[in-house]
Amino acid sequence: MLGPVRNPKAPIGVFDSGVGGLTVLTALKKALPQEDFLYFGDTARVPYGGKPLSMVRRFAWEIAGFLLREGVKAIVVACNTASSAALPDLAEDLSVPVFGVLEPAAQVARGYRKVGLIGTQATVHSRAYERYVDLSWAKACPLFVPLVEEGLWDDPVALLIARHYLEDAPEDLEALILGCTHYPYLKRTIQEVLPRVALIDSAEATAGKVAEALTAEGLLNPEGRGQVVHYVTGDPESYKALGYRLGEALAEAGYGVVTGGGPGVMEAVNRGAFEAGGVSVGLNIELPHEQRPNPYQTHALTLRYFFVRKVLFVRYAVGFVFLPGGFGTLDELSEVLVLIQTEKVHPFPVFALDRGYWEGLLSWMAFLKDQGAIDPQDLALLTPLDTPEEVVAALKAVS
């Protein structure tokens, strides 16, 4: 069993791949106005629906672990795909109550004779709903989630796509389960295509089940203020905050930091180290479109060529931490891994922070291994981590 001791005053954790779970959060706040919530939107990896269930299951365990570390008293998996992939295992293995959205929706659907389901490819193909209710028709609608994430649920294109997906729905269909928490945003559009069909949204049913269970468990919060703290994995500002915490943690542990000296995440790392009183070095590159070196450096050097900066990085580093970035970051990462792999430099640890952002690259590296393009031991050259504290602990372990 995993998880902390239950505390009625602790918040309730809620997670989804993006904004869809906010429909569940809204219903929860209405049903439980005194409860505090932590909402986790995994926007860096949205949508879940086209990904293998094994991968989504891993995402769910990672997020549940984060929420447990934040001290939640219960977890609501506000995502149909994650509920299909990770339940009932999460509920069986965690020591806090865990709620999904499938069973509450299915309970409502059992009041109708002919029931249909629309959802992501993963949810529909898992046939998880059929554990709870007989279905007459099911259809995967993979474009609905991107429409909602882009705020286009009332756009004419949404109606065109809905007609395309729903054109073969049975004429005598009585009810349709909206098998993705993004889909309630499209209720009006879906209802226009299927005007005589009852649309079943799991949000209210899930909120009712959570309220009932917390009451029975004695976990209702008598002193909560209805506050919500939001976490996301794909927001640039969250990466800056991560960079700042990394620079601060490294400086406090006695390590100096060396960055590219520019704006954004680089500036955040330099600032964290600088304001913690540590050594903060910036190696800036002269570029026509680049901003000036950031002001949070104890030592600054401006260079004309990228290869010179790479030499300096490799020559003086005791470890590399790669934060979310673009082509330049990928260029630095690949060069460092090749130099270590070919034993052209002394080996040092290389970390990818945070794990969620780099999931695609890590999966691709595993694919390269399966294809024989790299050796199995090469996968160990890059270590994914989630927090600056883990980076510091890992560095100390190899020092």
- For residue 375, the domain's CATH number is 3.40.50.450
Structure tokens at 130: 């059929």
Structure tokens at 54: 């094994």
Triad 18, 20, 23: Cα angle to 5°:
135
Q: Are residues 354 and 216 in the same domain?
A: no
Which pLDDT belongs to residue 291? 58
The sheet with strand 37-41 has its strands ordered as 98-99, 74-77, 12-16, 37-41, 228-232
Which pLDDT belongs to residue 3? 44
Mean model confidence pLDDT for the chain: 90
Cα(293)–Cα(299) distance, integer angstroms: 11
Q: Are residues 247 and 372 in the same domain?
A: yes
Amino acid at 397: A
Residue 252 burial (CB count, 10 A): 15
Which pLDDT belongs to residue 289? 63
Which pLDDT belongs to residue 352? 92
Alpha carbon 302 to its chain centroid, in Å, reads 36
Helix or strand run (H / E) with residue 15: strand 12-16
Q: Buried (b) or exposed (e) across 309-338, using 16+ Cβ within 10 A?
A: bbeebbeebebbbbbbbeeeeeebbeebbe
Which pLDDT belongs to residue 2? 45
* Segments in the chain below pLDDT 70: 1-5, 235-238, 289-291, 355-356
Residue 292: partners with Cβ closer than 8 Å, 6 or more residues away: 284
Q: Are residues 302 and 359 in the same domain?
A: yes
Give me the number of domains the chain comprises: 3
Give residue 258's domain range.
Answer: 236-398
Which pLDDT belongs to residue 237? 66
Q: Are residues 208 and 198 in the same domain?
A: no
Q: Are residues 242 and 379 in the same domain?
A: yes
pLDDT per residue as tens digits for the range 158-208: 999 999 999 999 999 999 999 998 898 899 999 999 999 999 998 988 999
CB 136 within 8 A of CB 172: no
Q: What is the CATH number of the domain that holds 224?
A: 3.40.50.1860
* pTM for the structure as a whole: 0.59
CB 120 within 8 A of CB 47: yes
Cα(365)–Cα(378) distance, integer angstroms: 9
Q: Are residues 244 and 373 in the same domain?
A: yes
Q: Are residues 220 and 241 in the same domain?
A: no
Q: Are residues 88 and 181 in the same domain?
A: no
Which pLDDT belongs to residue 236? 66
Q: Does residue 249 lie within any of the structural domains?
A: yes
Just list the catalytic residues.
79, 180
